[in-house]
Amino acid sequence: MKTFHRVMVLMLGIFLVAGFARADNKYVGVTKCKVCHSVEKMGGLAYKVWEKTPHASAFTVLKSKEADEVAKKKGLTKPASESPECLKCHVTGGGKAAEEKKEDGVTCEACHGAASAYLSIHNKKTPEDKEKAKAAGLVIDNTGKLCETCHNAESPTFKSFKFADMWKKIEHAGPKK
C-alpha cells in the first residue's frame, strides 16, 4: 500500500509541475523544431511540409499592398504587418512572443503550443513520454477547433474552412516507429 501511495504522490507531483510548466512555456522558434522534424528517421518531415504551406509565409503576406488595403477597409490605422488584429493569426504568438520571429509566420508552435517544456520529451519512443509531453503543453488537435481560431468569419479574406480538406494540405506525421 505504501508503494501505491508513493506512486500516486509522484504522479501528482509530475502533473502539478507539468501544469505550471505549461503556463510558463516559452516559444523556442521553428529552427529548434527543424533540427529533428526535417529528418524522417528522427522526427518526421513536418518541417519540410510546413515550409511549403501558406503558414510559413503568413507574415510575408501582411507586408503586401493588398493586405494594407484590407486592413484599411477594416478601419485599422496601422499597416497590416503591424496591426495586432492581423498579427494574432499571421504570426505565432500573435507577434507578442519575443522568442518567435515574425518572419517565420505561423509555425509549429502556433498549433502545438509553446515548446520549451515539452521539446526534449515529445518525440521519444514510449507512450508515457508522449503523455508527459502533453502534460507539459504539447497540443495535438485532431478536430480542427484550434485551426478555427484563425480560419473563421472574423478574417476579412475568409471563404470557408473544412478541416478534413485543409488537413490534407498540411498533413505531417511524426517519425516512423
Q: Does pLDDT of 25 surpass 50? A: yes
Give the three-class secondary structure for 77.
coil
Q: Please, which pLDDT band fits residue 98 given cuts at 50, 70 and 90?
A: low
| Structure letter (DSSP) for residue 118 | T
| CA–CA distance, 29 with 108 (Å, rounded to integer) | 8
| CA–CA distance, 174 with 130 (Å, rounded to integer) | 12
In this prediction, residues 28-35 reach a mean pLDDT of: 92
In this prediction, residues 132-153 reach a mean pLDDT of: 93
Query: Which candidate, 53, 101, 63, places its Cα nearest to that of 83?
Result: 63
| CA–CA distance, 119 with 4 (Å, rounded to integer) | 30
The pLDDT of residue 174: 67
